[in-house]
């Protein structure tokens, strides 16, 4: 399959960003930035804990035929999906504090304030900096890689976040590498579409666990580099949530014949979940595909603009601005896109540094009102970033013995 075709098929995965701080149980407009002064503490280089014992809630238990689906060589325990059937997409069940007349329409002009009342008066971070060699850091990231079960293998990373500084040391880099190299993996259908759907729903079933962890961490470490990285992580969780929801909505009974033939309980679960979320979307007037995408886009802008507002000393603010501008550009709202992009600076350490440099060059040539905007140059920069993402994941999946269409 040509690269460009794969890139097109995967584009919704890259751009379906959305929700986050809203799921922290505190409305977005009640949050504000609080700067925490890091403490410079030295620590010996340390390898992560090798204790692989899982919390009871993390364990994947083979319950036999009651919740185990086997399709050819694909074996999947759908027990957690069944247990969280009506909570697989928390972004839909929450009442997001996004007022269309203010935040949604004014976008970045209605600057999101991140304030957690429980974090008021939070003392400086007492934890020492994380010290890991490049190899040891990569080993932690790789140990937390999984094609299907994300939360349980995330445990080594979670444990390090409780022990080390949110600003000093290599914890922010660890979280960033984990996010870039393990999350938002691309999935393409095979001749048996059931396998992709079950995989995506299994990942969605873990989202509540991530959200609980990140909301607690953000409350304890507001306006820190580690929290910024976790907000980017939640941003990608939301992309995956959107993708899984779209896949579920398209899972008609005729497409799920393998599940029907293999495990009737699993088939009924899928159909029940599909009916439930279709009803939820209809009640929220999101049953049109374009409206659903716009809903997720709006939440994404709230997340990313929150990062811009609260990140310490501008840390990765340009990455967030690049993504916000990309959303508006896709929506053909070029004025909004240019306004966000003009605030970017080129930092070689940022994830999107190359694309940012290319977009900024086009923006600067366009004039103060964008009157001479070179749309071809901007589209080329965004396409190049997308192709790079596809190629990265082709190599990363091969490293673990997978491809886009294996699970």
Q: How far is CA 139 from CA 42, 181, 185, 396, in A?
A: 22, 12, 19, 14
What pLDDT, in 10s, does the model give residues 266-321? Answer: 999 999 999 999 999 999 899 899 999 998 888 888 889 989 999 999 999 999 99
What pLDDT, on a 0 to 100 scale, did the predictor assign at position 301?
Answer: 87
Q: How far is it, in rounded angstroms, from Cα 10 to Cα 274? A: 23
Which residue positions in the chain have pLDDT lower than 70? 1-65, 93-123, 370
Supply angle C-alpha 151, 157, 158, rounded to 5. 70
Q: Is the dihedral of CA 12, 26, 352, 331 positive or negative?
A: positive
- 164, burial (CB in 10 Å: exposed 0-12, middle 13-18, buried 19+): buried
What pLDDT, in 10s, does the model give residues 17-42? Answer: 333 333 333 333 233 322 222 323 23
What pLDDT, on a 0 to 100 scale, did the predictor assign at position 168?
Answer: 94
Helix, strand or coil, per DSSP, at residue 400:
coil
What pLDDT, on a 0 to 100 scale, did the predictor assign at position 125?
Answer: 78
For residue 214 the two structure tokens come to: 């990140």
């Amino acid at each position: 399959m040509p690269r460009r075709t794969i890139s097109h098929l995967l584009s919704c995965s890259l751009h379906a960003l959305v929700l986050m701080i809203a799921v922290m149980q505190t409305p977005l407009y009640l949050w504000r930035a609080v700067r925490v002064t890091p403490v410079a503490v030295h620590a010996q280089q340390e390898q992560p804990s090798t204790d692989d014992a899982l919390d009871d809630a993390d364990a994947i238990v083979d319950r036999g035929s009651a919740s185990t689906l086997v399709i050819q060589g694909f074996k999947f325990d759908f027990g957690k999906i069944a247990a969280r059937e009506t909570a697989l997409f928390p972004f839909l069940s929450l009442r997001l504090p996004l007022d269309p007349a203010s935040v949604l329409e004014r976008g970045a002009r209605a600057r999101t304030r991140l304030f957690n009342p429980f974090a008021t008066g939070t003392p400086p971070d007492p934890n020492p900096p994380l010290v890991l060699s490049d190899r040891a850091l990569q080993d932690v990231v790789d140990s937390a890689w999984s094609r299907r079960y994300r939360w349980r293998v995330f445990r080594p990373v979670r444990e390090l976040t409780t022990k080390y500084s949110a600003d000093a040391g290599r914890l922010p880099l660890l979280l960033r590498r984990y996010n870039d190299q393990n999350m938002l993996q691309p999935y393409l259908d095979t001749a048996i579409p059931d396998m992709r759907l079950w995989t995506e729903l299994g990942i969605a079933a873990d989202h509540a666990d991530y959200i609980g962890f990140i909301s607690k961490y953000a409350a304890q470490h507001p306006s820190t580099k580690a929290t910024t990285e976790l907000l980017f992580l939640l941003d990608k969780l939301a992309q995956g949530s959107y993708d899984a929801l779209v896949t579920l909505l398209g899972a008609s009974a005729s497409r799920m014949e393998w599940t029907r033939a293999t495990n009737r309980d699993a088939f009924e679960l899928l159909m029940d979940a599909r009916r439930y979320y279709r009803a939820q979307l209809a009640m929220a007037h999101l049953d049109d595909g374009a409206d659903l995408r716009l809903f997720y886009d709006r939440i994404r802008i709230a997340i990313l603009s929150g990062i811009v507002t609260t990140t310490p000393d501008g840390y990765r603010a340009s990455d967030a601005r690049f993504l916000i501008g990309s959303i508006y550009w896709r929506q053909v709202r070029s004025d909004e896109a240019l306004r966000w992009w003009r605030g970017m600076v080129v930092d070689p350490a940022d994830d999107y540094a190359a694309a940012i440099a290319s977009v900024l060059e086009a923006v600067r040539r366009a004039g103060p009102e964008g009157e001479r905007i070179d749309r071809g140059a901007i589209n080329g920069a965004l396409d190049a970033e997308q192709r790079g993402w596809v190629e990265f994941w082709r190599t990363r999946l091969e490293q673990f013995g997978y491809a886009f269409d294996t699970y």
